[in-house]
Structure 1
Amino acid sequence: MFVLIQALAIVLTLIAHEHEAIAASLSSSLVVQVNKHSESAYSAHAYFNSSSPQNLLIDLDAPFTWRFSFPRQEGCDSCPEALTCREFPCTDLRTTYSYKSPLCPKPTNRSLYDGYHNCELCPVNVIHPFTGSCSQVILTYDESMFNISNGGRNALSDMYMAYPIIGSTPPWTFDFFPSSVVGVIALSASQYALPAYLQDPVERIIALCLPSSGTDPGVLFFGDGPYYLFPRDDVDVRSLLTYTALLKQPNSFGYFIGVNAIVIKNRSINVPVNATTKISTLDPYTKLRTDIYNNVARRFSKVTKRIPPAKLVAPFGVCFNTSVNGTKVAIRVPDIDLVMQDGKKWTISTANSIKQVTEDVACLAFVDAGPTSEHAIVIGTYQIEDNFLMFNLEDSTFGFSSSLLRRQTSCSNFNFTLTH
């Protein structure tokens, strides 16, 4: 009897240790590969209700995730279960957490799927991120799976499960998407975006590092760190971050920060107090309202007057000749500093401010958004490549590293080799 009790005690101890080990792993973060398809299309390579991963377009604004799948039908075990229009999330998503566009018709219970009647499904509108046109998805109870990270150093084969409500849609919805991208992953602050479905011990924290290469992936973490990028595997990336407050804007689920000024070589260009600055993963270049853009372009042209100008290449307004006597030369320009309301400074270096657009021409990768732009500043993807960004929904803070290249690493330096 005593031996049996001893054996039982050992088994219970092993189980407890296993649970502690899993909890320790989970307390770090989940990790997802990020692929670059173009300068306005970056995808998360994640598992949704199947053993095969899908590439979903990363969107910091989308109110909910939607992807290529079909509501559960006879003989389809991998199809997600559909919501009915009588369920609360259907009404809530249609009224409060929906895509909003004057081009979209008022939602009805009539779906694009044949064989369903009355209130069996919950069709909702979505907006195509590349064309701006309206499409329809069917809300479903779905399943998502993410690799657990090993203390932020590499990915484990163990998976974390989440059960978000996701829109299902036929494949024709993804015309004009990059060929391998079959959905949109919502990383916004919406109650139906993916971060809202993270549960203890994984915190509602998104750490995003967009790659500058189309061949070497970047990395997306869910949950608090630590986070590591080789070769500096002794440095937690969180130690490189500067933090400022995330600001809320009405009628938006995206992320905003307060920028008071843009500084170029010790000259400050003021940004109006009531101006909004948005962070976007769908805009390829930082957009500045015309009054701000003109001042930035004028100042930048002045401090780079020794670099030969070049004929403009749309959509850019300041371009340089990078060829001398037929030989391509690299150019260096002064940093551009975004100064926050609290005095913190986000430095944009040459790698994120100058875009080589032809063999002989490089341009300032900031564009004129027009005089009536909704947001005074929209920080685009070219400016955030190889920058480590952390959106903390637990305490409404935003962390940023400035260029990792100056730290002898990059967003493509996470070790995705699976370990057990």
Structure 2
Amino acid sequence: MSLHRSSTAALVALLALAVLLGTSADDGGQPIVARVSKDASTALYNIAIKVGGVPLLLDLAGPMLWLANCPTPHRIIPCVSHDCDDISTTYRPPGCPKPGLRGEGPCACPAYPRNPVDGRCRSDDATTITLAANATDGQNPLYPVTFRAVGSCAPGELLESLPAGAAGVAGLSRLPLSLPTQFKHPYNGGYYFGITGIAVNQQSVATPPGVFDLDAGSGTGGAVFSTVTPYTALRWDIYWPLRNAFDVATSGIARADKVAPFDLCYQASALTVTRVGYAVPSIELMLDGGRNWTLPGASSLVQVNNNTVCFAFVQMASSMPAAVDSPAVILGGHQMENNLLMFDLVKETFAFSGLLLGIRTTCSNFNFTMGSSY
């Protein structure tokens, strides 16, 4: 499937409880793998890529790497340097405060770490951060590797609303300061993909003409992957047609009271469970190129308590942690779970496995027993 506005070479296997990245030339370009885990209390994802196994929040659309409460002293990036030039081209969130006057000492390059969940931004020192992962052959970890990346310090207050224990954010977008080092500087660094329509139970959902169109210059419209949006968020003119079509297709299943943030819920006792989740009509995302991404019951529904299961899509709102610049569809973490996604940023394509439950496996079966540095 086509991937809009790609830049440098990288391969990312996401939400297989692992992330594969192309590392720097220092280790010969060997791909690396790091464990990804879901935080139950926030429904967000951590990646264990910091030295010592300290988790960072995984933000697929995030512009940079940042670490809260940097040690004192810490290495700074000089104002006059190539790295600072890259930092200065990175998107500065609107309303982010300018850095205060620094006392005596060298000029430190400022950076603007942002909490992707609540949108707060601060200014702090750009620095280098040591990371650790495992080299991989694509099937198993091989041996531990450490490497340094340019990122930012951040005040501890930015950790609020992140998973407990997270020490910062690992941004994996295609902007200059993301972990997959980039050479182009698009307005929007998110991973976009093309959707032409949606179907429920193999019946096309009627949506307004052009509703999925992407403005490549501004990042408005289109569909984007996001690991900081727990459940797929849809613009209102897509959400309501899909929600109503699913409502009709499941009319024979007993309803339950709504549980925020969901609008459509069912009695858990009225649902049967199959190998691919609850026995409900599948949702199909019709992609550019003619292929469909099938979302069976494990992806379309979520159990919210012992008695209630809800339609796992939400209407996009200003309070949602949007990935970037008002896309029409933000494909959230729940819908990506137990799918193997591979991004080829040279060919500007991505590939997906479909729900792994259908082939009697899960992402948690990936072998992390060899070469662990933790």
TM over 0.5: yes
TM superposition shift of 1:70: 2.9
2:87 pairs with 1:93: yes
**Partner Cα separation in structure 2 for residue 340 and residue 171 of structure 1:** 41
Change (3 A) 1:55 1:347: same
Tell me, yes or no, if the aligned pair for 1:99 and 1:127 is still in contact at 8 Å.
Answer: no
Cross-structure match for 1:345 = 292
1:53-102 CA deviation, whole Å, 9 max, x = no partner?
Answer: 221111112211111353663xxxxx4x21122224324323x213422x
Which structure has the bigger radius of gyration?
A: 1
Cross-structure match for 2:38 = 36
1:17-71 CA deviation, whole Å, 9 max, x = no partner?
Answer: xxxxxx9x977631111121145421111234xxx22211111122111113536
Picking from 104, 111, 132, the partner of 2:96 is: 104
Q: What amino acid is the match of 2:49?
A: A
Identity of aligned residues (%): 31
Cross-structure match for 1:159 = 144
2:311 pairs with 1:364: yes
**Partner Cα separation in structure 2 for residue 145 and residue 273 of structure 1:** 39
Q: What amino acid is the match of 1:365?
A: A
> Residue 281 of structure 1 aligns to a residue in which SS?
coil
Q: What amino acid is the match of 1:92?
A: D
Picking from 122, 125, 142, the partner of 1:138 is: 125
**Partner Cα separation in structure 2 for residue 33 and residue 334 of structure 1:** 32
**Partner Cα separation in structure 1 for residue 350 and residue 170 of structure 2:** 20
Between 265-274 and 357-366, report the one with greater CA deviation.
265-274
Cross-structure match for 1:293 = 239
TM superposition shift of 1:371: 10
Change (3 A) 1:160 1:353: same
Change (3 A) 1:268 1:371: farther
**Partner Cα separation in structure 2 for residue 265 and residue 28 of structure 1:** 43
> Residue 134 of structure 1 aligns to a residue in which SS?
coil
1:307-360 CA deviation, whole Å, 9 max, x = no partner?
Answer: 011222221121111236xxx854411110100121111111100111111221
Change (3 A) 1:419 1:145: closer
Cross-structure match for 1:176 = 161
**Partner Cα separation in structure 1 for residue 58 and residue 296 of structure 2:** 24
Tell me, yes or no, if the aligned pair for 1:28 and 1:152 is still in contact at 8 Å.
Answer: no
Tell me, yes or no, if the aligned pair for 2:113 and 2:153 is still in contact at 8 Å.
Answer: no
Q: What amino acid is the match of 1:89?
A: D
TM superposition shift of 1:104: 1.3
Cross-structure match for 2:357 = 405
Q: What amino acid is the match of 1:122?
A: C
> Residue 316 of structure 1 aligns to a residue in which SS?
coil
**Partner Cα separation in structure 2 for residue 152 and residue 91 of structure 1:** 34
**Partner Cα separation in structure 2 for residue 329 and residue 349 of structure 1:** 13
Cross-structure match for 2:76 = 82
Cross-structure match for 2:114 = 127
**Partner Cα separation in structure 2 for residue 318 and residue 365 of structure 1:** 9
2:302 pairs with 1:302: no
Q: What amino acid is the match of 1:268?
A: S
2:278 pairs with 1:276: no
TM-score, normalised on structure 1?
0.71
Tell me, yes or no, if the aligned pair for 1:356 and 1:362 is still in contact at 8 Å.
Answer: yes
Cross-structure match for 2:198 = 262
Ranges of 4+ aligned residues in structure 1 off by more than 6 Å: 25-28
Q: What amino acid is the match of 2:47?
A: A
2:322 pairs with 1:386: no
Change (3 A) 1:307 1:249: farther
Q: What amino acid is the match of 1:31?
A: V
Tell me, yes or no, if the aligned pair for 1:249 and 1:256 is still in contact at 8 Å.
Answer: no
Cross-structure match for 1:16 = none
Change (3 A) 1:260 1:135: same
Cross-structure match for 2:19 = none
TM superposition shift of 1:297: 1.1
TM superposition shift of 1:154: 2.2
Tell me, yes or no, if the aligned pair for 2:111 and 2:124 is still in contact at 8 Å.
Answer: yes
Tell me, yes or no, if the aligned pair for 2:227 and 2:332 is still in contact at 8 Å.
Answer: yes
Tell me, yes or no, if the aligned pair for 2:117 and 2:161 is still in contact at 8 Å.
Answer: yes
Q: What amino acid is the match of 1:272?
A: V
**Partner Cα separation in structure 1 for residue 93 and residue 126 of structure 2:** 17
1:157-194 CA deviation, whole Å, 9 max, x = no partner?
Answer: x3334332111234343233222100111111112211
**Partner Cα separation in structure 2 for residue 371 and residue 141 of structure 1:** 34
**Partner Cα separation in structure 1 for residue 83 and residue 347 of structure 2:** 26
Q: What amino acid is the match of 2:163?
A: P
**Partner Cα separation in structure 1 for residue 328 and residue 185 of structure 2:** 13
**Partner Cα separation in structure 1 for residue 155 and residue 119 of structure 2:** 18
Change (3 A) 1:375 1:355: same
Cross-structure match for 2:4 = none
Give the structure, 1 or 2, with the largest relative contact order (CA under 8 Å, sep 6 or more). Answer: 2
**Partner Cα separation in structure 2 for residue 251 and residue 27 of structure 1:** 27
Change (3 A) 1:391 1:109: farther
Change (3 A) 1:125 1:47: closer
1:356-397 CA deviation, whole Å, 9 max, x = no partner?
Answer: 112211111011115999221110011011111112222221
Is the helix fraction higher in 1 or 2?
1
